[in-house]
Amino acid sequence: MKFAEAERIKNLPPYLFARIERLIAEKKKAGVDVISLGIGDPDRPTPAHIVDVLIAESQNPANHQYPSSVGLLRYRSAVAEWYKNRFGVELDPATEVVSLLGSKEGIAHISWCYLDPGDTVIVPDPGYPVYSGGAILAGAKPYYVPIYPKDGYLVDFDSIPPDVAKRAKMMFLNYPNNPTGAVATGEFFQRAIEFALKYEILICHDAAYSEVAYDGYRPPSFLQFPGAKEVGIEFHSVSKTYNMTGWRVGWAAGNPDVIEALGRLKSNIDSGVFQAIQYAAAAGLTGPQDSVAEQNAIYQERRDVLVEGLNSLGWSIEKPKATFYVWAPVPKGYTSESFAETVLEKCGVVVTPGTGYGKNGAGYFRMALTIKKERIVEAIERLKTGLGQVEF
Ligand SMILES: Cc1ncc(COP(=O)(O)O)c(C=O)c1O
């Protein structure tokens, strides 16, 4: 029997990384020692003091029952305390923070709260695919705003046609940015707030990489700028900060009406995050932060090896200030896809084609710094042997 798929899923491409994982598995099966720069998933463990709290709390039967879908007040207070210490942002943990099963879940679900079929949402291109995926599932129409290297990959609000801005109900932003590694200034966020106020648009800022930064740079939060709470929310999680991608715990914070709506939607869909995990994440947010600096020093060294290695082969890439991604143009004669295929075939190295993040990612590819330095050195050696010097 053949089941007819619903329209909403027919238009949904398979999730980018599902394809990459399949490709890697095929190569490995064929005996290739694959070096994957493809997926941004921290390779180092969660700090021990966080794991210890999980162990202790998982032994308490009170934590074995259904959690509340909006999160323990203890967890939401830890998020508020962290925002206060890190950004000077005041949040009411009872009304301005909601727990999420990882920020991805909230990013996908927020569209269900504010977008009806046919509604417009502004999505940066290239961008994290879940912004458009969630919106498409809700029946909405993403308007893709291209972001360009000439603007430091910041959205140019003046490039959005006024009729689009007028009908748009929501807009996603993400700095530090996946996939480009771009960072935003305070002036940029202020411009975003002005734009949102003018056109009555809900801003959903994704700050997943705010703690992964280099050379002493500290990315700002959208919420620290005047008026932000009036127009938006910020998504975040402990995934990248404390190497907790597998734990599935995050949050949304900001405008209380939006937080309430997201919590209401979620109470009809999921039953929250295992409480022991919430206690452990709270310990991460309120405990010692040394692991973050240590982690960033490791990524920074890997970044330097990768960027300097590629530049020695003919690229001229600037070192990103934040995120664990390096975004680079493909050499002359390649498309994003043909370049990714060539380096996999010739070098056994996985990179992600820029088009996986949107049409405007064409001509680029992304590499993640989540593998050991020695493997990055080897990947560069293999590119040198397989491709030689490249031209643009
Ligand atoms: C830009 C961006 N936002 C959000 C996420 C989701 O992270 P999580 O669901 O683990 O919080 C990711 C994960 O890769 C990401 O790259």
Q: Give the tens place of pLDDT for each residue, 205-216.
A: 999 999 999 999
CA–CA separation, 43 and 371 (whole Å): 6
Cβ–ligand 1 distance for 126 under 6 Å, the answer no
Confidence of residue 8 (pLDDT cuts 50, 70, 90): confident
pLDDT score recorded for residue 166: 98
* Statement: residue 107 has pLDDT above 80: yes
* Statement: residue 17 has pLDDT above 70: no
| Those residues with Cβ within 8 angstroms of residue 286's Cβ, 6 or more apart along the chain or in another chain | 78, 81, 82
Average pLDDT on 105-129 reads 98
Quote the Cα angle for 188-317-306, to 5°.
115
Ligand 1 center–CA 175 separation, angstroms: 12
* Statement: residue 16 has pLDDT above 70: no
Ligand 1 center–CA 80 separation, angstroms: 20
Which ligand 1 atom lies nearest to the CA of residue 237? 11
321 close to 215: Cβ distance less than 8 angstroms: yes
CA–CA separation, 233 and 114 (whole Å): 13
The neighbouring-strand residues paired with 213 are: 322
pLDDT score recorded for residue 158: 97
Cβ–ligand 1 distance for 40 under 6 Å, the answer yes
Task: Read off the tokens for 6.
Answer: 């619903």
Torsion over CA: 20, 22, 23, 29 (sign):
positive
The residue written with tokens 């411009």 in the block is 191
Average pLDDT on 87-108 reads 98
* Statement: residue 11 has pLDDT above 80: no
> Probe ligand 1: pick from 100, 101, 104, 242, max atoms within 8 Å of CB?
104
Which ligand 1 atom lies nearest to the CA of residue 177? 1
Among 358, 338, 12, CA closest to 177: 358
> Probe ligand 1: pick from 15, 109, 128, max atoms within 8 Å of CB?
128
* Statement: residue 25 has pLDDT above 90: no
Prediction pTM value: 0.96
Segment 152-172, tens digit of pLDDT: 999 999 999 999 999 999 999
Task: Read off the tokens for 223.
Answer: 């919420």
Which ligand 1 atom lies nearest to the CA of residue 250? 11
pLDDT score recorded for residue 305: 98
Segment 333-384, tens digit of pLDDT: 999 989 998 999 899 999 999 999 999 999 999 999 999 999 999 999 999 9
> Probe ligand 1: pick from 206, 234, 323, max atoms within 8 Å of CB?
206
Helix ranges restricted to H, the chain: 7-10, 16-29, 48-58, 73-87, 103-114, 130-137, 162-167, 186-199, 228-231, 256-267, 275-286, 290-312, 336-347, 373-387
Segment 321-330, tens digit of pLDDT: 999 999 999 9
- Percent helix, strand, coil in the chain, to 5, is 45, 15, 40
280 close to 57: Cβ distance less than 8 angstroms: yes
The residue written with tokens 């907790």 in the block is 244
Higher pLDDT, 1 or 260: 260
